[in-house]
């Protein structure tokens, strides 16, 4: 049986309940009742006002209830309708609508069933319980005539990069239409996620921008970020193959003169809301002392190439860990200790230990000219990674402050930001100067900063070669 909108009743529908002389109605719709009523002498708790006595009808008229006020005006309250009634369609009659939040009762007899079916198939509009929100802003942004420069300011990338992302994610984020509503288009889904990551605005603001519910926007952000991890990360964020690594070594040698450098490494912290468990593990002492405000964070360790494109990331370790402790827990450390970094260096700052595959500057006092020159050349390489993280945080503002994301979902969001960063770097997307975000070095020296004698000897040879046998660089 199809359910239509609730049927309305009028006073004439209840006329069989009362004698003809019991109700008098004048032209102004004022009613005078002459029922055999009994005052309810039992007072309601907390009501000491005797000017408003409550009356109840006897058993014969139990379907009707009313209250008398001090001016003897009568306000009817209809309860359960009588099964045998006829639907009134005269617009001049007084109609009493039931609550729209309640379901209409099942109609038993055949006449009422036919009436309900006819009403459902008539021109009356069915009410869908979906809040009507304005999508004007997104429709303007999605219009082909929308200026590319303004689009880039909104989404921190050009229309071309946005179209490529939508095309590659289409199969992963597309949803089917249902009988109740149409699915949100792929472009709008991706736009909600990118806007949220780019601006860091609260979900309430994102909801107003795109004309969607707050919970819907939150769900879309997580779904699209997960799709980026599954679909885009294998394409845009992978450790380079041998042929690509050879080219990267040449690029780093051109800018520093140091041979066999395959990447620059840096570790940054992302602020988070204080977790409910293991609070001390996420407490960031160095950021708290610098900002004079309690700070909790998680870490992001990344290795980048000459263009600042991430080739390896390690995300999610608690903010109380130092840079060398984060390195020890990463897959990069496992590859280095297994001997996979043969004739390969990853350059880090003084917060990392000197070990096989990891090249760091000299940190002891009274450096020689050779060691000082080596530190300067190594600093040029390390600044590439630091600048990459500055662009990462500057372009995706959600990384600059605590976000409304659960701790277990945050690594997926951060990974999506790294993937989007790589796409922008590969496509040479312009970085607006006003997006610049300063990066502070809060690293501390590890307790054992030299963990390989062979790596220490190799560093001395490189430093000597740079000073006495410099190679051409650009």
Q: In degrees, to the nearest 5, what angle opens at C-alpha 471 toward C-alphas 469 and 474?
A: 150
**Alpha carbon distances (Å) from 292 to 147, 179, 285, 363:** 43, 55, 10, 28
In the block, tokens 């796409």 appear at 423
Per-residue b/e over 358-387, b at no fewer than 16 CB within 10 Å?
Answer: bbbbbbeeeeeebbebbbebbebbbebbbb
Note the pLDDT of residue 442: 78
Burial class (CB in 10 A: 0-12, 13-18, 19+), 219: middle
- Rg (the chain; Cα; Å): 36
- Name the 3-class secondary structure at 459: helix
Distance between CA 30 and CA 184 in Å, rounded?
53
Note the pLDDT of residue 216: 94
Contact 156, 198 (CB under 8 A): yes
**Alpha carbon distances (Å) from 207 to 141, 192, 260, 470:** 15, 9, 49, 58
Instruction: State the number of CA atoms in the 13 A half-sphere of 34 facing the CB.
Output: 7
Note the pLDDT of residue 471: 65
pLDDT < 50 regions, the chain: 1-11, 14, 17-18, 20, 22-23, 25-38, 43-44, 46-110, 112-126
Note the pLDDT of residue 339: 84
**Alpha carbon distances (Å) from 107 to 111, 269, 336:** 9, 64, 76
Q: How many helices (H) and strands (E) does the chain have?
A: 16, 11
pLDDT tens for 168-209 read 999 999 999 888 888 999 999 999 999 999 999 999 999 999
- The residue extents of the domains of the chain are 11-121, 136-235, 237-400+437-468
In the block, tokens 């960031």 appear at 284
| Longest Cα separation, the chain | 121
pTM value is 0.72
Question: Encoding tokens for residue 351?
Answer: 């917060």
Contact 318, 269 (CB under 8 A): no
């Amino acid at each position: 049986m199809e359910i239509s909108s609730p049927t309305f009743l009028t006073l004439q529908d209840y006329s069989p309940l009362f004698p003809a002389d019991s109700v008098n109605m004048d032209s102004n719709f004022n009613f005078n009742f002459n029922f055999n009523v009994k005052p309810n002498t039992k007072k309601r708790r907390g009501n000491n006002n005797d000017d408003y006595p409550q009356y109840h009808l006897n058993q014969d008229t139990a379907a009707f209830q009313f209250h008398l006020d001090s001016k003897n005006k009568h306000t009817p309250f209809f309860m359960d309708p009588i099964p045998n009634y006829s639907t009134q369609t005269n617009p001049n009659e007084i109609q009493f609508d039931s609550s729209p939040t309640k379901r209409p009762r099942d109609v038993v007899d055949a006449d009422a069933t036919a009436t309900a079916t006819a009403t459902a198939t008539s021109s009356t509009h069915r009410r869908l319980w979906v809040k009507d929100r304005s999508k004007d802003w997104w429709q303007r942004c999605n219009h082909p005539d929308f200026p590319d420069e303004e689009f880039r300011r909104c989404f921190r990338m050009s229309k071309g990069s946005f179209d490529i992302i939508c095309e590659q994610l289409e199969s992963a984020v597309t949803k089917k239409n249902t009988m109740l509503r149409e699915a949100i288009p792929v472009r709008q889904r991706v736009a909600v996620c990118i806007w949220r990551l780019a601006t860091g605005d609260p979900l309430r603001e994102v909801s107003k921008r795109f004309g969607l519910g707050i919970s819907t926007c939150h769900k879309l952000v997580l779904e699209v970020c997960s799709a980026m991890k599954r679909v885009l990360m294998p394409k845009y964020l992978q450790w380079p193959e041998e042929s690509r690594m050879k080219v990267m070594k040449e690029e780093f040698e051109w800018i520093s003169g140091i041979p066999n450098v395959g990447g620059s490494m840096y570790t940054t912290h992302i602020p988070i809301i204080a977790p409910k468990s293991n609070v001390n593990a996420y407490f960031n002492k160095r950021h708290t002392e610098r900002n004079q405000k309690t700070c909790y964070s998680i870490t992001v360790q990344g290795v980048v190439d000459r263009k600042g494109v991430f080739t390896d990331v390690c995300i999610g370790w608690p903010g109380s860990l130092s840079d060398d402790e984060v390195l020890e827990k990463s897959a990069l450390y496992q590859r280095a200790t297994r001997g996979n970094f043969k004739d390969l260096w990853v350059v880090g700052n003084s917060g990392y230990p000197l070990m096989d595959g990891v090249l760091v500057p000299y940190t002891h006092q009274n450096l020689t000219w050779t060691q000082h020159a080596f530190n300067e050349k190594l600093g040029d390489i390390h600044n590439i990674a630091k600048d990459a993280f500055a662009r990462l945080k500057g372009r995706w503002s959600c990384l600059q402050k605590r976000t409304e994301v659960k701790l277990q979902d945050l690594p997926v969001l951060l990974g999506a930001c790294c993937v989007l960063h790589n796409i922008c770097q590969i496509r040479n997307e312009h970085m607006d100067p006003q997006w610049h975000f300063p990066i502070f070095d809060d690293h501390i020296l590890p307790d054992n900063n030299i963990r390989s004698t062979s790596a220490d000897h190799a560093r001395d040879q490189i430093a000597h070669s740079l000073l006495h046998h410099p190679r051409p660089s650009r």
